[in-house]
Amino acid sequence: MKKFSVGVIGATGMVGQRFLTLLESHPWFNVTILAASSKSAGKTYYEAVKDRWAMAVPIPEKFKSLKILDAVADAKKIASIVDFVFCAVDMKKDEIRTLEEQYAKYECPVISNNSANRSTPDVPMIIPEINPEHTSVIEFQRKRLGTTKGFIAVKSNCSIQSYVPALHPLRKFGIKNVVACTYQAISGAGKNFDRWPEMVDNVIPYIGGEEEKSEKEPLKVWGEIKDGVIIPASSPLITTQCIRVPVTDGHLAAVFVSFKNKTSVDEIKQLWADYKSLPQSFNLSSAPKQFIHYFEENDRPQTKLDRNLENGMAVSVGRLRADSMFDYKFVSLSHNTLRGAAGGAVELAELLTAQGYLF
């Protein structure tokens, strides 16, 4: 199989660093271009990140001496060299929308971690195990952009990846109402404790824009394609509170759910245990073997103990029990920069490759 030449836009950031550790020896994707802001452009990768490398593993040797390009000024050049780019940048939304569309129009597909294009109706927002069929909207997007190869595909916000996977197999019971309170790691803000000392021994009850995304994005993920666009699902009704807590990685959600047709605890656990999707049938290299793991122990899942399950790509669930106001409640957890960001984007690129959208 062809090995794809890949660029990472935003390579110096928290998600960008995670991309490079995941792609260091990927079987299909070979990172050849690193890009960031004009501040980093011209430096070697090592010079740019040596004082802010936040991963537990060292900076991969093969990237240390690569010269960083300017993601904006060098866009045309980058697009002409690579087969596609991963994009995770901290810029204004309208600037990101322009940047991503520019790469796509230069016939360079963009697999994005950014929120800027998540509500664009013909841009698929994919959790590979949940809505892999939404990639078919890409053909309509290509018509709009006037491209034959270029397109934008995005992954969803990291917070929803802690509870949407657990709810998804239960949709056949008609999910009516969901309350999800998320306890989110500081790496979700691109920070560690050195760069955010105020978070030590602290909880901050506000994450800008997060509750809106957490309530809206699941409906697009569960939407239907009609006339070349994704029409969001009209239910369930979802309300959230998103709280920043002093952990490095891992978003944990406390979830309450009610159904039109109530089911049993045993049936729910069985559906979680049996759930498999296209990434498992395609045997994609980043896909977990078991997407949803249920823990019977009362004190699991725990952020520190369970976030790295199946290389941080599995979702852990526990404490399923009846509730006095809703039908059931449970706790679920996912790794925000792996499943929720770079890992999810790499799995999405693998899915797009297997489906023939990257060539």
Ligand X SMILES: NC(=O)c1ccc[n+]([C@@H]2O[C@H](COP(=O)([O-])OP(=O)(O)OC[C@H]3O[C@@H](n4cnc5c(N)ncnc54)[C@H](OP(=O)(O)O)[C@@H]3O)[C@@H](O)[C@H]2O)c1
Q: Nearest to residue 89, comparing CAs of 99, 80, 79?
A: 99
Q: d(Cα 333, Cα 346) in Å, to the nearest integer?
A: 20
Closest residue to bound ligand X by CB: 13
Which letter does DSSP use for residue 232 in this model?
Answer: P
* Closest to ligand X by CB, 84 or 259: 84
Can you tell me which of 55, 91, 219, 271 binds ligand X, judged by CB under 6 A?
91
Nearer to ligand X, 216 or 329 (CB): 216
Of 169 and 188, CB closest to ligand X:
188
Residues 267-286, one symbol each (x = binds ligand X by CB under 6 A, - = not), give --------------------
Whole-angstrom distance, CA of residue 277 vs CA of residue 289 = 10
**Rounded-to-integer distance, Cα 342 and Cα 286, Å:** 11
Q: How many residues bind ligand X (CB under 6 A)?
A: 28
Considering only residues 312 to 341 of the shown chain, the ones binding ligand X according to CB under 6 A are 336-337, 340-341
- Residue 293 is among the residues annotated as catalytic for this protein: no
**C-alpha span between 106 and 9 (Å, rounded):** 15
Fill in the per-residue mask, 13 to 32: x = in contact with ligand X (CB under 6 A), - = not in contact.
xxxx----------------
Torsion over CA: 8, 14, 15, 18 (sign): positive
Q: Which of 108, 158, 293, 335 is catalytic?
A: 158
Region for residue 165 given its phi and psi (left: phi exceeds 0; alpha: psi -120 to 50; beta: otherwise): alpha
Q: Computed over its alpha carbons, how large is the radius of gyration of the chain?
A: 20
Of 16 and 128, CB closest to ligand X: 16
Instruction: Answer left, alpha or beta for residue 209, where phi above 0 means left and psi between -120 and 50 means alpha.
Output: left
Q: How far is the CB of 261 from ligand X (least distance, A)?
A: 34
| DSSP assignment of 108-152 | --EEE--STTTT-TTS-B--TTT-GGGGGGHHHHHHHHT-SS--E
Taking CB under 6 A as the rule, which mask of x and - marks residues 168-197 in contact with ligand X?
-------------------xx-x-------
As a residue count, the chain comes to: 359
Q: Is 152 in the site for ligand X (CB under 6 A)?
A: no
When binding is defined by CB under 6 A, the residue of 5, 30, 32, 37 that contacts ligand X is: 37
Q: Does 7 bind ligand X (CB under 6 A)?
A: no
Q: Could you identify the residue written with the tokens 């021994």? A: 201
Please say if 251 is a catalytic residue: yes
From 8-16, 126-134, 225-233, 286-294, span contacting ligand X (CB under 6 A) = 8-16
Stretch that binds ligand X, among 58-66, 85-93, 162-170, 298-306 (CB under 6 A): 85-93
Closest approach of ligand X to the CB of residue 137, in Å:
21
CA–CA separation, 257 and 167 (whole Å)? 9
Output 144 or 195, the one with its CB closest to ligand X.
Answer: 195
Q: 141: Cβ–Cβ under 8 A, 6 or more apart, which residues?
A: 122, 123, 151, 152
The whole-angstrom separation of Cα 87 and Cα 93 is: 13
Residues acting as catalytic residues: 158, 251
The footprint of ligand X (CB under 6 A) covers 10-16, 36-37, 39-40, 71-72, 88-91, 113-115, 158, 187-188, 190, 336-337, 340-341
